[in-house]
Amino acid sequence: MRIIDLRSDTITHPTSSMRTAMAKAEVGDDVFGEDPTVNRLEKMAAERMGKEAALFVASGTMANIVSQLTHCFRGDEMILGDQSHIFCYEQGGSASLGGIHPRTVKNQPDGTLSIEDIEAVIRPDNVHFPKSRLIVVENTHNRCDGNPIDAPYMAAVRALADRHGLKIHVDGARIFNAAVALEKKPQDLTAHADSVSFCLSKGLASPVGSLVCGSNEFIARARRNRKVLGGGMRQAGILAASGIISITEMTDRLVEDHENAHRLAEGLSQIQGISIDPGRFRTNIVYFEIARKGLTPLELARQLEKEGVRVIPVGPRRIRAVTHYHITKKDVDLALVIVSRQMRASA
C-alpha cells in the first residue's frame, strides 16, 4: 500500500545526492572549529540569511533555545505569540533552562503580532517588573496556516524594537518556504532581525540540523551556549554535507510543495463535512476542520491511516496536513479520494 504521509515535512528522507555527499564529506573536529564542511555550511547559511556568521545545531528547538539564551539574561522577558512553536511545543525551555519569562501576545490569524499589542506589553523600567529584552517572530507561522510573513511587517517590528532597545529573533524553521511563497530572498525577510534560525530537516529534506545566524559577536556567544547544552558536535561534517545540498538543491523546489498544498486545500473544500477556506494557505501547511458532530479528528485520522493516509489531529475539530518532497500531485489526488470516501462512510 502506498503511504501518503502528510503528518509533517520532518518525515522527509535524505535524497541520493545527500547520501553521496555525506559519504564523501571531508570532516574534522567541529568543537575545535576544524570541520571544513561544517564551516562551509555555516558560511553559506550566514550569506543566505544576510548575517555575518552562523552556527550549526542539532534541531530547530536547539536553535531557538540557543538564540534565547544568547539574547536574554535570567529574569528577562521575551515577547512572543500565544500560538508560536517556542511557546506551544518547546517544553517551556525558555523558563526551565534560561529563566526567561515568556510574555505572550495573541497571534493574529496571519501569524503576526500586532505592533500595538507588542508595544502594550513592553515593560517600563521599574523594580517590580522583569526587563523586556526580546521579540520573537515565527516565519512561516506553523499554527497560523503556515503563513509567510513579509518584510514590511518586519521593518515595523524593527522600528518598535529600536524605540525600546529590544532584540528580535526569527524562528525561521521554514524561512525558505516563506521566501519562495513571497518571491523574495530569505535575507529580505531576515534583514530586520538580530538573529534567525532555520531548519534543514523539514522541507529541505536533510536528516538532521538547523542553523542559527546573526552577528559575529552573537554567534560567538551562541557557540558557548550550544556547548553548555551538550550540543558541541565533532565530525559533524557528515551532517553538514547534507545541509549544503538542502540549501543548494532543495529550496527552489518548495514551490511544488506549495502547489500541492493548494491543490489539497481546494480538493478538501469540495468534500462534504469538511470546513476549510482554501485561499488561506500559501505554503506547505494545510489545516481543515471537521464540520460534523460525532466524528472526531482522531477517529478520522485512524480511518485514514488504515488506507495509508497519515495526518495529525491538532484540536477538537482540527487536522493538519503538510506537503513535502515525497508527496506528488498524484498522492494529493489519491488522498482526496480516500478522505472523501471516509467522510461519506461516516456520514
Q: Which of 46, 54, 57, 60 binds ligand TLP (CB under 6 A)?
A: 60
Quote the cell numbers at residue 183. Answer: 518571491
Sheet holding 76-81, edge to edge: 53-57, 210-214, 195-199, 167-171, 131-138, 76-81, 101-105
Q: Which of 199, 212, 240, 264 binds ligand TLP (CB under 6 A)?
A: 199
Looking at beta carbons only, is 148 or 343 nearer to ligand TLP?
Answer: 148
Quote the cell numbers at residue 44. Answer: 553559506
Q: Which residues are paired to 134 by β-bridges?
A: 78, 167
Cα 124 to the center of its chain, rounded Å: 32
Please report, for residues 205, 274, 324, the alpha-carbon distance to residue 10 in angstroms, rounded to integers and kept in the order given: 7, 25, 9
Q: Which residues are paired to 137 by β-bridges?
A: 170
- Span of 34-42, 54-62, 70-78, 247-255 interacting with ligand TLP by CB under 6 A: 54-62
Q: Which of 8, 70, 94, 251 binds ligand TLP (CB under 6 A)?
A: 8
104 upstream amide cis, omega within 30 of 0: no
Instruction: Tell me the closest approach of the beta carbon of residue 128 to ligand TLP, in angstroms.
Output: 32
Residues 116-145 that bind ligand TLP (CB under 6 A): 138, 142
- Span of 58-66, 101-109, 110-118, 178-186 interacting with ligand TLP by CB under 6 A: 58-66
Instruction: Tell me the closest approach of the beta carbon of residue 202 to ligand TLP, in angstroms.
Output: 7
Distance CA 303, CA 196 (A): 39
**What mask, x for binding ligand TLP by CB under 6 A, covers residues 10 to 29?**
x-------------------
Residues 138/170, Cβ–Cβ less than 8 Å: yes
Q: Which of 59, 132, 177, 190 binds ligand TLP (CB under 6 A)?
A: 59
Query: If you search the block for the grid coordinates 503511504, which residue do you land on?
Result: 3
Indicate whether 169 belongs to the interface with ligand TLP (CB under 6 A): no
Instruction: Tell me the closest approach of the beta carbon of residue 200 to ligand TLP, in angstroms.
Output: 9
Indicate whether 61 belongs to the interface with ligand TLP (CB under 6 A): yes
Instruction: Tell me the closest approach of the beta carbon of residue 273 to ligand TLP, in angstroms.
Output: 25
Question: Residues in the chain, how many?
Answer: 347
Number of Cβ atoms within 10 Å of the Cβ of 269: 14
Number of Cβ atoms within 10 Å of the Cβ of 126: 7
- Which residues would be at the binding site for ligand TLP (CB under 6 A)? 8, 10, 59-61, 64, 85, 89, 138, 142, 171, 173, 199, 201, 210
